[in-house]
Amino acid sequence: MYVRWKRQIYKPHPSYYAWKRDERERVTWRAFLVECKRIDGKPRQHIVSYLGCMDERWIGDMWEHIRFWQGIGRRVKPLALTDDQRKAMERGVSSRVRAPSQAEYDEMVAQRRAADIAWERERAEIEARIRAKL
């Protein structure tokens, strides 16, 4: 088994995006887990599972890396891969989308919690101001 990456280009429709002049074509990479089989003596590739996709615009965003790898974990779990197959799959995926380390993951979760707490405080202040006006 190996990971096949497919490149897909999305081009905006000229009339639909006429109001949005900065919209350009986007490139998305989709990952598939593929198994080689011989049928009638000829090699054939069989897609075992769709693993996920990553837009090139978000390759540098660690949140997207976390989301991507969590999605892979959900899709690969029911396949019951051996340890060697799983490691090979992870190496193939890591060639394009790096897996976050535990420290990076913990840091991102802490940032997210801090942002959620700040948002809750701000929301409570806004609600209090609205109530005071009523």
Residue-wise pLDDT tens digits, 15-59? 655 555 556 678 889 999 999 888 888 988 889 999 999 888 888
Query: Model confidence over 68-127: pLDDT tens digits?
Result: 998 998 998 888 888 998 899 999 998 888 888 889 889 988 998 999 999 999 999 999
What gap in Å lies between CA 66 and CA 74, rounded to an integer?
A: 12
Nearest Cα residue to 90 out of 75, 107, 111: 75
DSSP for residue 97: S
What gap in Å lies between CA 56 and CA 26, rounded to an integer?
A: 7
In this prediction the pTM is: 0.71
Give the containing element (helix H, strand E) for 10: strand 2-10
